[in-house]
Structure 1
Amino acid sequence: MYRHHMVAAFMFSVVTQPSPAAAGDFAGAVDIGGRSLHLECRGHGSPTVILEAGALGRGDVWSRDIRHPAGARTMVLPGVAAFTRVCAYDRPGTIGEVDPRLDPNGPPFLPSRSTPVPQPRTARDKVADLHALLEAAKIPAPYVLVAHSAGGLIARLYASTYPDDIAGIVLIDSTPENVWLRFHEALPPAQWKTFEALTVKNQELLDAYPEAEQWWTAPLVDDPSTVQVREARARTPMRPIPLFILYHGIPFAAPFPGWPSKKMEAIMSDLRDDIATMTPDAKVVIAKKSGHDIHQDQPDVVIAAIRQVVDAVRDPKTWKVAPPLHGDVSYTRR
């Protein structure tokens, strides 16, 4: 009997021990059921900030400086770790960019550190992965989701699927759910066909990296990920949580000659403003010196926006009285 109780007590102590990813610095593989996702966490405190990279973006895009020599600037993940717990992860098939000016003898890209899976995958598939990761790593809610580009579709669908877990959101040049519908309406058929082909498939990358992440499927107007987010928005409106939207100030480069840049930028601005209506008191800031990758162009602005959301989760009274962000930014909504 005594021996039985000792075994039971030992088993209980093992089961209830905190996950290595739940506290302290952690970087490594987390099994989510037959395959693993690479996770990195730093810092202490609640809420936990979860960083969701854009299409093809590896988790270390939040900590590696791909514009300047390492250490020259404070990047997003270490910057956020100074005031709360923060985690980033690799989706399967993502890559780490390499600047040949900084690493002339380096590889053309760094592959994902997570187990490959069949591609393409939808936003719903990626929400399922993230949820499984947070559960397996025993990272407690509440979460502030910070998402770039297409990662914004994952963040918004996650918030619709698990609303009780999400306390705030920061969207960094996020992909709107209606962007392909609006682009299709605005472009002549020949231009749309060219744009769709460029968006759906990057054959050069697939030749070099067959496991590469693929987001979009043709026809783009019926792409499952945008449809899933559109339906979720109608079914489960966002709760009145702190929402900070950061938007590029430097227009996108034309993907091909004849691209109607002014018209397409106006569409993206309209869709950005539409996302801002999802919750009361959303804040919208244009990062004047940033292109699409605001977290690399102006990481200090991203860190400051995240801090305001984290502060508002801890004390809601701070949201409306928070001072404006410093630096080369302008507000369109405060």
Structure 2
Amino acid sequence: MEKAVFVQIGDYKLFAQLFGQKKDKPTIVMESGYGESSKTWDSIIQEVSKLTEVLIYDRAGLGESEKSSNPRTSREMVKELKELINQVKIKPPYILIGHSFGGVNARIYATKYPNEVCGLILIDSTPENYREKFLPTMSKEFQESYNNQFIYEGNYDEFMESLKQLKESKMKLNVPLTVLSAGKKDHYSKKSQELWNGMQREILDISSNSDFINAENSTHYIHKDNPKIVINAIKQMINTF
């Protein structure tokens, strides 16, 4: 089953799609990376939706969704996702899957609504200490191109505010967590790559039940470079319910 809807949230509409059917498993909710529409999941959505019901959506101002006048920070986006889930009438619990910046939103959602989230899968997710621990180790050119990318949703300051919000909301979660780390990042030296993988491993500490997968041959977009590794991680988690 596939169903597309436009959901009114305040003074704008968000585009969402439901795939698959609710069986006896939790619903999967997917959060894309910065500036990415829900089309980013095209590589895995058909396989994942065979497992259970799956919700994908475009955040405000992306894809087919209208722009929001609210700040483009994670806390606001989490509020909007909560409203969307309520309106689409999806019942908890959910497994949240977040790629890159979407992992920041997924983590904040899981700490704000712990009774609704039963699992977390983070795909090369942005760590809360990215600005102070990782960025300064990279070349000026890398830092400049990184800063200049913030034109699609939220500016650089709003993105960094989201990382601050992630730090402030950080707590131990009582849910299974899988962290997938890209092992072949573009423009990373061996040292940078090792630092990145180490920071991904640090995210494991937010749960007492966590698993680490190093996608050695994948760039940042693991779900596109190696869909099987992501699909298998999702299957493994969903089979525990």
Provide the C-alpha distance between the structure 2 equivalents of 1:38 and 1:151, rounded to a whole number of angstroms: 16
Paired residue type of 2:157: T
Contact 1:120/1:216 (<8 A) preserved: no
Residue 296 of structure 1: CA displacement?
A: 0.6
Corresponding residue for residue 42 of structure 1? 19
1:30 matched to 2:11: no
Q: Give the whole-Å Cα distance in 2 for the aligned partners of 1:307 and 1:215.
A: 35
Normalized per residue, the structure richer in strand is 2
Are positions 1:131 and 2:82 aligned together? yes
Distance 1:152 1:215, change over 3 A: farther
1:31 to partner: Cα distance: 1.4
1:11 maps to what in 2?
none
More deviation in 284-293 or 177-186? 177-186
Amino acid at match of 2:108: L
2:169 is matched with which residue?
Answer: 232
Instruction: Tell me if the contact between 2:7 and 2:84 (Cα under 8 Å) persists in the aligned partners.
Output: yes
Shift of 1:33: 2.7
Query: What TM-score does the superposition give when structure 2 sets the normalisation length?
Result: 0.91
Equivalent residue number for residue 285 of structure 1:
213
Instruction: Please identify, of 139-148 and 75-84, the stretch whose mean Cα deviation from structure 2 is larger.
Output: 75-84
Deviations 1:87-145 (CA, angstroms, capped at 9, x unpaired)? 10001233xxxxxxxxxxxxxxxxx2001124861111111111111011111110000
- Separation of aligned partners in 2, 1:160 and 1:147: 14
Q: Distance in 2 between matches of 1:35 and 1:121?
A: 14
Does the Cα contact within 8 Å between 1:124 and 1:154 map onto a contact in 2? yes
Partner SS for 2:194: helix
Tell which structure's C-alpha radius of gyration is larger: 1
What residue in structure 1 maps to residue 147 of structure 2? 200
* Residues in 1 aligned to 2:228 and 2:33: alpha-carbon distance in whole angstroms: 18
The alignment partner of 1:251 has SS state of coil
Counterpart contact for 1:25–1:43, Cα < 8 Å: yes
Aligned length: 239
2-structure distance, mates of 1:215, 1:80: 32
Segments of 5+ residues of structure 1 without an aligned counterpart are 1-23, 64-74, 95-111, 207-211, 255-260, 315-334
Q: Which secondary structure does the structure 1 equivalent of 2:115 belong to?
A: helix
Q: Secondary structure at the match of 1:115?
A: coil
When residues 168 and 215 of structure 1 are mapped into structure 2, their CA distance, relative to the original with a 3 A threshold, is farther
Residue 242 of structure 1 is aligned with which of 154, 172, 176? 176
Aligned residue identity for 1:199 = Y
1:54 match: 33
Report matched runs for 1:1-334 at 5 Å.
Answer: 24-44=1-21, 45=23, 46-63=25-42, 75-94=43-62, 112-118=63-69, 121-186=72-137, 191-192=139-140, 194-202=141-149, 212-217=152-157, 223-233=160-170, 236-239=171-174, 241-253=175-187, 261-312=189-240, 314=241
SS in 1 for 2:239: helix
Please tell me whether the aligned partners of residues 120 and 215 of structure 1 are also in contact (alpha carbons under 8 angstroms). Answer: no
Contact 1:142–1:167 (CA under 8 A) maintained in structure 2: yes
After superposition, the C-alpha distances for 1:123-171 in whole angstroms (9 at most, x for unaligned) are: 1111111111101111111000011011100000000100000000111
Is the alpha carbon distance of 1:35 and 1:118 closer, same or farther for their aligned partners in structure 2, counting shifts above 3 Å?
closer
Contact preservation (8 Å) 2:128, 2:163:
yes
1:247–1:287: 8 Å Cα contact kept in structure 2?
Answer: yes
Residue aligning to 1:323: none
* Cα distance change on mapping 1:199 and 1:120 into 2, 3 Å: farther
Q: Contact 1:290/1:297 (CA < 8 Å) preserved in 2?
A: yes
**Which structure 2 residue ranges, 5 or more long, are not aligned?**
none
Deviation at 1:198, TM superposition (A): 2.5
User: 2:58 corresponds to which letter in structure 1?
Assistant: D
Q: Which runs of 4+ in 1 moved over 6 A?
A: none
Q: Secondary structure at 2:6's aligned position in 1? A: strand
Q: Secondary structure at the match of 1:164?
A: coil
Question: Percent of aligned pairs with the same residue?
Answer: 32
Q: 1:295, 1:118 → 2: CA distance?
A: 31
User: Is the Cα contact below 8 Å between 1:170 and 1:243 reproduced in 2?
Assistant: yes
Provide the aligned C-alpha RMSD in A. Answer: 2.0
Distance in 1, Cα, partners of 2:135 & 2:52: 42
